[in-house]
Every structure is written in structure tokens, then in C-alpha cells.
Amino acid sequence: MPRGALIVIEGLDRAGKSTQCDRLVTRLKTSTPTLLRKFPDRTTPIGTMIDAYLRSTSDLDDHAVHLLFSANRWEASSAIKAELEAGVTVVVDRYIYSGIAFSRAKGLDGAWCRAPDVGLPRPDVAIFLDISEEAAAERGGYGEERYEKKEMQRKVRQDFLELRDDERDAGDWAVVDAGQSVEEVEENIWKAAQKGIERARTKDLRTVV
């Protein structure tokens, strides 16, 4: 039995990730067992701390919260591996790239940000939904949470695009213009996802380096 694919969807707040993850999962499910996961997973004890931080009911040092985001992925990592080995394709709404991009945008060192995620299951494909801050703002603006500000989002977008160019990850990335219609974005994500599915069919799961 072939293993499942690890398909990561990344993007700025209001890029349409939730809508598109649902559509992708529904479509994949017609031909293969598929599961949706989301980070941060706010349902665990670590996720509860992250949630309080994002809603500004608690304050944490930037490094400390970065490590919590990573720990929140690690606590799911054995389950993800088991799912992939069992032939289940796992679609993930945000993963290590959000971890690095948001913390780096706050001024943390890039190598330091990456280190705690080294060893996690590596995506077969990372699909970045790219949208300008202006277009995102036109979609009803940002919410109340930390980071949901134009200037921060501009920096994060820059950072995501730099990650795409990093040689360690470059081959895994696909950038999709998220400013198009919901249907067009869905189609382009579908095409990009095939890259990950094909990789899972022919190659072993790797770890983040």
C-alpha cells in the first residue's frame, strides 16, 4: 500500500486557507483516505497557551511562544507519521513555514527559528496561497488577534517568499495566486497537490532539515 502524502497549505491571514483546505480535502476524499489537520492545534494544553497568547489574554516572550508553536507540531508528529504510513493523505493548514515566517517577522534569527522544527515530517509539497496585504484587507480586513495587522502581514509575506527560495525547501514549494476566484484557486491548488501525491507514491517520507 502506498503511503499518504503530506500536503501543507500556507499563507497570510485572510488568504482563504480554511475554505481551500476544506475543498481540497473533499476532493481528495473521493479517491483516497484524507485527513485535515490545523496548526496551531488549539485543543491541546500547549495549544491552549498559544490561543491565550494570540488572543492577548496572556503575554509570552517571543522565543517562548515560538517554541510552543513548534512543540504543538511535535506533539502531533507521531500521529501524522502513523497516518501517512497507514496510507492516509494529510492536509495541513499551516505548518513549519508559518512558524518561521511569523517569528522572523518579529525579528528572531532565522536559523534559531528553524532549529526546533528540524526532524519533523517534511511536506511532500508546500502550497503557498499568495495574496497582497491590500487584497486581504479588501476581504473584510483582519481580525482581533495578534499579528493580524497590515505591516506585520507585509513582513510575513516577504518572509514566506524568501523561504520558498531557500535551497533546503525550494523543490517542495508551489505558489498559488490567492487573489483569483475561489474556483480558480481551488484548481491551481489541486494541480500543485498532485506534485505531492506523486512524490508520496514514488519516494519515502523525509524529515525537515
Q: Which residues bind Mg ion (CB under 5 A)?
A: 13
Torsion of CA 162, 15, 173, 92, to 10 degrees: 120
- Give the C-alpha separation, 67 to 5, whole Å: 26
Decide whether 86 or 118 has the Cβ nearer to ligand NYM: 118
Decide whether 102 or 128 has the Cβ nearer to ligand NYM: 102
Decide whether 40 or 123 has the Cβ nearer to ligand NYM: 40
Decide whether 3 or 117 has the Cβ nearer to ligand NYM: 117
Please give the grid coordinates belonging to residue 183: 474556483
CB of 147 to ligand NYM, least distance (A): 4
CB of 44 to ligand NYM, least distance (A): 13
Sites for ligand NYM among residues 29-68 (CB under 6 A): 39-40, 54
Please give the grid coordinates belonging to residue 160: 514566506
Helix (H/G/I), strand (E/B), else coil: 203: coil
Residue 190 engages ligand NYM in binding (rule: CB under 6 A): no
Binding footprint of ligand NYM on the chain (CB under 6 A) = 13, 39-40, 54, 69, 94, 98-99, 102, 147
